[in-house]
Structure 1
């Protein structure tokens, strides 16, 4: 048996990484600090990603996208996150918001909403509510039949890029007597009468990605807005997360890699007691552990991405595992990067404190790591 190509990415993935990294360093990284400090949407990144066809590269080619597979999408998100965590939420949220449509929509629906997505009209995902976070099936937003259509009422909490996105996948209760089997998915547009947004949350990290509540006040839509079968919305939402948790792992990888790169460079530039701090064993051990964690997380994340693309039966285990492990690694690596930089790591002159703040959220959203461990345990190989 030849091992020549085992664990080696095909050249096109490495070429993709190089091109996205070059774009991120030139057109995204220079604005990352201002985006964070001013709590503003990274419009420069938005424009650059649209121009380079990276805004929603996962969209199938027949709908105007590049048809990027799961691994390619992870590499895009990883490299953008290495430069700016907030900017990496643009392609990540666009995949999360549109994947239910890709998985469960019909041909006409996909063409109607996916092509505009590739042209810069974002797509957000509305599942969580004030009282339905980890217990997502406890949602209260309702979808009531009216003639040939539906009326949507309720609100969704913690919605990434809310107000910036044009389209929203909304998971609503259409028959409360059936519990999770009475939940249905819909597409709501920002311009629909009755749609409004709360004030942006004041967050620890990812400050450039607006997180807002979305309100639905008697929003009337046609049945052509329904994604998939009535009552199948919760299953569709969970299937979506099996695929998109991997993008959060990729985002965490990018944050960890970015912080590690800064810390490693700094360790050779900073001199104390007449030599580089890299020469001190304590710093060497920290950097070594950081590198081990990153490379281990990358291997697991890429394996999960391959399983997502193939639809393997053990996807749920690998998806939850990659998200849990990579985000825990990101939290440790970014925290240690701050430590390597000492006082300079604690101030915004260097990006590691921002990366540490951003990394924290990756352990929380798209399912807390505690919930992920329950999922992992229930799907042990």
Structure 2
């Protein structure tokens, strides 16, 4: 089936660059990173310098000024092919979250201060919203920031923060006026060496072991006014307005990973023999493959349309939510079926399907749970 979203020759040349980078800088090391539960940060400098992420950074700050999301799709597809999902999550964290916020909300002074360091890979960013008592419901944030002269004093705790250990710059959501309701939250940029900024334990997860996830603590951290991001009191609105890009990133990763593992499974079924013939000769196996192939083709058409809508500035929060829940649930379902078709081998961690299965489980949770996505869509329908 011809895809709705056609790649140009430039995209395919970029694919060759991404593929060569992954072969050289990621594939030889990704297993050790998982064992270490931490990716060597040198790879991100190499990735930034190779244009694997940060393409949208304007030229005057060291980037390419390229906003076409199809390039992000190429990266997602190639990362999925080599099953380097821990690496891919950190790349997505930079492109689909941190840089997206900075490019939209930063002042000119802030752009000059931070963007060149992202462009050369010397700075890794993180986004700190989630707290022990506040996940999808951001209004439950208890981290506070109060004025002190021209500065702000930040206190609180965040958890489940991707890249929390290695991050040099963290965008933190805090309550600045408890009586102002949804207009009482503000975003601040906390930098690595600020006194009172402490990192807790590196959390042990069931999947994505190489991608560091941490608890963060803020104890009377003095934030200069120059580190307030966006408008005071509009932090919640800023967070909400940037969720479609984040959720598109989850959808892109989901469809790419599901497709890559399906392709490996189809080939396995052609090669693996049972009862004297290839698995694919069994009608049940053929039906399983036929169903998954159809589901992937239909889902890909939706994602392609979403990417084109994002490029044109017309991707709605509702459509992003539809893609996020459906693609992440489909990814989970397909990888489970692929495990089954592999039989006992699918349970072995040396097989890509087993690792991808564990890495996949978080997809229906972060970026907004499936249940929250359905609530977003349902509220739109009930108007």
Specify the alignment match of 1:81 in structure 2: 80
Distance 1:13 1:318 in 2: 25
Q: Any idea what SS the aligned residue of 1:17 has?
A: helix
Aligned residues of 1:98 and 1:169 also touching (Cα < 8 A): no
Partner of 2:91: 91
Q: Distance in 1 between matches of 2:93 and 2:325?
A: 18
TM-score, normalised with respect to structure 1: 0.93
Q: Which structure 1 residue ranges, 5 or more long, are not aligned?
A: none
**Offset at 1:326?**
1.3
Aligned mates of 1:258, 1:5 — CA distance in 2: 16
1:12 is aligned to 10
Taking a change above 3 Å as real, the CA distance of residues 189 and 148 of structure 1, as seen in their structure-2 partners, is same
Q: Using the TM superposition, give the Cα deviation of residue 219 of structure 1 relative to its aligned residue in structure 2, in angstroms.
A: 0.8
Partner of residue 219, structure 2: 217
* Structure 1 residues 188-203: aligned runs within 5 Å: 188-203=190-205
Structure 2 Cα separation of the partners of residues 362 and 89 of structure 1: 11
Give the direction of change, closer, same or farther, for the CA distance of 1:7–1:221 in structure 2 (3 Å limit). Answer: closer
- What is the aligned residue count? 377
Q: 1:306 deviation in Å? A: 2.4
CA contact under 8 A between 1:134 and 1:367: conserved in structure 2? yes
Q: Per-residue CA shift, 1:195-221, capped at 9, x if unaligned?
A: 111111111111111110111111112
Q: 1:49 to 1:30 in 2, by over 3 A?
A: same
Distance 2:194 2:321 in 1: 35
Deviations 1:328-349 (A, max 9, x none): 1111121111112111110012
User: Which region of structure 1 is more displaced relative to structure 2, 277-286 or 55-64?
Assistant: 55-64
User: Residue 58 of structure 1 is aligned with which of 38, 56, 59?
Assistant: 56
Hey, what does 2:71 align to over in structure 1? 72
Q: Matched residues in 2 for 1:31 and 1:158: separation? A: 25
1:247 aligned partner: 249
Task: Point out the more displaced range, 51-60 or 188-197.
Answer: 51-60
CA distance in 1, matches of 2:266, 2:45: 31
Q: Distance in 2 between matches of 1:50 and 1:59?
A: 11
CA distance in 2: counterparts of 1:159 and 1:373, whole angstroms: 24
336-345 or 290-299, which moves further after superposition? 290-299
Secondary structure of the corresponding residue to residue 186 of structure 2: strand
CA contact (8 A) 1:242 1:319 kept: yes
More divergent stretch after superposition (129-138 vs 30-39): 30-39
The one of 125, 137, 148 aligned to 1:146:
148
Q: Deviations over 1:114-161 (max 9, x none)?
A: 110122211110111111101111101111111111111111111001
Deviation per CA, 1:73-131: give whole Å up to 9, x if none.
23323322332110101211112123222111112212211110122211110111111
Is 1:109 equivalent to 2:107 in the alignment?
no
Equivalent-residue separation in structure 2 for 1:265 and 1:12 (angstroms):
29
SS in 2 for 1:367: coil
When structure 1 is superposed on structure 2, of 300-309 and 263-272 the one drifting more is 300-309
Q: Secondary structure at the match of 1:379?
A: helix
**Aligned equivalents of 1:302, 1:119: Cα separation in 2:** 30
Q: Shift in Å at residue 239 of structure 1? A: 1.0
How many Å separate the matches in 1 of 2:120 and 2:151? Answer: 28
Matched-pair contact (CA < 8 Å) for 1:316–1:379: no
Aligned pairs for 1:176-195 (under 5 A) are 176-195=178-197
Secondary structure in 2 matching 1:19: helix
Instruction: Tell me the residue number matched to 1:49.
Output: 47
Normalising by structure 2, what TM-score?
A: 0.92
